[in-house]
Structure formats: C-alpha cells, structure tokens
Amino acid sequence: MPALPFTCLDDYDPEALSVSRARQFLLDTVQPVAGHERLFVREALGRVLAEDVISPVDVPAHDNSAMDGWAVRHADLSPAGETRLKIVGTAFAGRPCEAKVGAGETARIMTGAMIPEGADCVVIQEVVRVEGKTIIVPPGQKPAQNIRRAGEDLQAGKPAIPAGKRLRPAELGVIASLGIAEISVRRRVRVALFSTGDELISLGMPLTPGAVYDSNRYTLWGMLTRLGCEVIDMGVVKDDPVALEAAFREAAACSDAIVTSGGVSVGEADFVKQLMARLGEVAFWKIAMKPGKPMAFGRIGQGKESAWLFGLPGNPVAVMVTFYQFVRPALMKLMGLDPLPHLPTFAARCTAPIKKGPGRTEFQRGILFRDNDEWCVRPTGHQGSGMLSSMAHADCFIVLEADRGKVEAGERVLVQPFEGLV
C-alpha cells in the first residue's frame, strides 16, 4: 500500500489540528470509487452521474408559443394604432399547424404549440378583441415576443448534465425531457459500521447497571443512508483486541470505508493504536474542536481487502458533528461528486450569550428563527457532547471560529442549517 501523505501534517500541533486542515487532508487523500452501473431514470434518484448526459436533441425541438394567444406577422402590425387580422386557423400543442399565416392573417395558438409557418410573434389573448372571423390587435407588440426558441433550453450534441452531478428530481426531469430512459451512474459507496465499547447494549436487550444503549449506530446508519451509501451494520464490538481485529479485517474486506464510534479517546487509544499499526496506516488526531476532539483516520487492510477508516469519538453529539464536518465531505468525494457541495453557512444574530474560550472551533446546536426580517439563532440549552437531545431539538450548528471568544447576546454568529441532513 502506498504511504498516506501524513507527513504533510508533520508541522501540526499534536494537541490541535485545525478543523479546516483536517478536512482538507481527507479530501486530498481519498479518491472516487471505480465502478459504474446502468439504471432506469427513476432508480437513479440520489445517485451520482458517471458520464456526461449528452443531449441527442434540441429542447424544445421547435420554436413554440410561451402563451395562449394569436400567432401574427410582426411586420403587419401598425406601430401607432390597432390592426385588424383575419383568422385562418388554430395551432394546438402537440401537432403541426395546418394553416400558414400570410400577410394580414393570424392563427389562434395554444401554449407549447409550434409557431405556424409565416408567423414570427405571439400576441397574448388578454389584449386582443375577437370580432367574428377577425381579431383586433393593440399597438406596442414587440418582434418575436412570447416565442420559445428551438434549443433555448438544451442543444443537441452538448452536455445537458455533467458527470459528477448528484441526480435530484430536476436532473431526472431533464434526462426524461431528452427521451433518455437509462443512464450510467457510479456504484454506491459501501460503508461498514460498528460501535465499540464494553458498556454498550443493543436494542432488545435489558439495560444492565452502568450500561448504555448503543445510539451511535442509529444516528450513523441514518446519516449514511441519507447520504446514499450502502450500509453494512456490524453491530457492537467489545473493547477487546481480538474481537476488534477480527471486526476490522472483516469490515475492510467488504467495504470502501469503515466508520466506527468510540475507542479513540486517550484512555482507550493505546491498545487500538497498536492494533491499527498492525492492520494498516492510521493517524490518531486531536482536532482543535468541540465536541469531537479525538478522531482516527487512515487505511486498513491489504489490496482489495482494504478500506478507509474513520474512527469517530464515542460521545453521541461528537459522532454527529465529526460526521458532518469530516466524514460526509470525504464520502462525497468517494461517491464521485464534483464539485463537492458545502454545507450552506451564513451569519445570524445569536439571541443568548455563549461561553467560549479562544483556541478551538465549537459546533453548538441552535434553532433558527426569523425576527423583524432578520435570521436569528437560539442555542438549544445544555450543550454537553453526550446530550443527543440537543441535536434532536436543533436545526443548525452554531459555528464559533477557533479564535473567537465568548459571544454576547445580540452578536452575529455563523450558522450551518442541517435540515434535511440529520
């Protein structure tokens, strides 16, 4: 296995790797997975396009009317007064119009109908008076008005959607509008998932004294599934070197990436570090952030039986924060997304004070609301990194930059909405 470029981080303070540097390292290191499959358009919702979709046709295929109205020859219209024109036919959407529009003539035209031969302008029906077999058009009509040109949406032979795009409902519609029924998408990224900890109990078992239910596997399963990954849930693994080694080998053999929670904090990392050194190349980072300071990243296994490893902390909020700040962008790169979308970030007025010292980036949980035409954010009560309810109540992260000190009520802070993500 080629060595991972960890040496480029050699100058980092071992007590504090910055959030942006850690994220950039992940993005520079992982590469998109190889492998395509062909799918029917609907099955491809949420998948990443593997090849450009080239438009086989012009869309629209012909000049057509943008409005219900009257197809006319602009040169016939009097610039100063009303013009009377003779009705010679009707142009319906979906079939060519039989009538030709000659000098002094007009045809009734429906939205989407092909412009009849001879006509070059559409007058909307609301301004026209009909008198028997004629119409009266007021002055002030512009040349070529209300006409959609052939190819104005998409041109034959040009890429309609570039490779690397995630297929949303809009892209499915564009593909369908080209008459294409099947497309090539990248295969799903396979992610193996397990929790570590002797204290963890799986659902369905009684809670023994001192034990906690394993919640991280549920939040991680949800986040990975929403991202569009194929999730391989390997359950809970005890803090035992033999069990952990077996789990890592099995995970590496069947996945592109492994996401674990727990076992990377100082007390536990030592035996995990020795194990990782045997299995591959993994760095244990202390990231200058709260929550989510300890994190492991690297590659474990051999050849085809190897996978990226994201070892997340055990605290449930830290799991979600580190997933969104690091694992999500890295997995998006593995999925082949190009360009990588950022979580939208904007400034909002914070309605309560927040305690903070400079040195670490903090990701507090907040609730966004509108007040007097301004976006405001209210922190969700207790912010302990084990308080998962703070995530459940929140709809955004409040991102407090590393060098920032405490926040007074009324100051502006950066927020990242996570609606639709968590």
Residues of the shown chain interacting with Mg ion in the complex, contacts defined by CB under 5 A: 197, 262, 314
Q: Which residues of 270-295 are buried (b: 16+ CB within 10 A; e: fewer)?
A: eebeebbeebbbbbbbbbbbbbbbbb
**How far is CA 372 from its chain centroid?**
30
Binding residues for ligand AMP, rule: CB under 6 A, are 195, 197, 199-200, 212, 214-217, 261-263, 265, 268, 313-316, 386
Angle between the N-to-C axes of helices 19-29 and 328-335, in degrees from 0 to 180, rounded to the nearest 10: 20
Provide the minimum distance between the beta carbon of 312 and Mg ion in the complex, in angstroms, as a whole number: 11
Provide the minimum distance between the beta carbon of 272 and Mg ion in the complex, in angstroms, as a whole number: 10
Provide the minimum distance between the beta carbon of 385 and ligand AMP in the complex, in angstroms, as a whole number: 8
**How far is CA 145 from its chain centroid?**
38
Query: 232 with 192: CB under 8 angstroms?
Result: yes
Provide the minimum distance between the beta carbon of 7 and Mg ion in the complex, in angstroms, as a whole number: 29
According to DSSP, the residues that pair with 368 across neighbouring strands are 377
Phi, psi of 138 (to 5 degrees): -75, 160
Nearer to ligand AMP, 108 or 217 (CB): 217
Provide the minimum distance between the beta carbon of 355 and ligand AMP in the complex, in angstroms, as a whole number: 22
Nearer to ligand AMP, 65 or 385 (CB): 385
Q: Which amino acid, 197?
A: G
Q: What sign does the dihedral 394-17-241-299 (CA atoms) show?
A: positive
Torsion of CA 256, 333, 398, 383, to 10 degrees: 10
Residues 6+ apart with CB under 8 A from 410: 349, 350, 351
Nearer to ligand AMP, 63 or 199 (CB): 199
Nearer to ligand AMP, 49 or 236 (CB): 236
3-state secondary structure string across 118-172: CCCEEEEHHHCEEECCEEEECCCCCCCCCEECCCCCECCCCEEECCCCECCHHHH
Q: Which does 216 bind (CB under 5 to 8 A by kind): Mg ion, ligand AMP, none?
A: ligand AMP
Nearer to Mg ion, 260 or 364 (CB): 260
Q: Which does 365 bind (CB under 5 to 8 A by kind): Mg ion, ligand AMP, none?
A: none
Q: Which does 316 bind (CB under 5 to 8 A by kind): ligand AMP, Mg ion, none?
A: ligand AMP
DSSP codes of every residue in 174-222:
HHHHTT--EEEEEPPPEEEEEEE-TTEE-TTSPPPTT-EE--HHHHHHH
Provide the minimum distance between the beta carbon of 161 and ligand AMP in the complex, in angstroms, as a whole number: 39
Nearer to Mg ion, 116 or 197 (CB): 197
Q: Which does 215 bind (CB under 5 to 8 A by kind): ligand AMP, Mg ion, none?
A: ligand AMP
Provide the minimum distance between the beta carbon of 265 and Mg ion in the complex, in angstroms, as a whole number: 7
Q: Which does 212 bind (CB under 5 to 8 A by kind): ligand AMP, Mg ion, none?
A: ligand AMP
Q: Which residue number is nearest to ligand AMP in terms of Cβ?
A: 314
Give the separation between CA 56 and CA 418, rounded to whole angstroms: 38
Nearer to ligand AMP, 199 or 230 (CB): 199
Nearer to Mg ion, 314 or 366 (CB): 314
Provide the minimum distance between the beta carbon of 294 and ligand AMP in the complex, in angstroms, as a whole number: 7
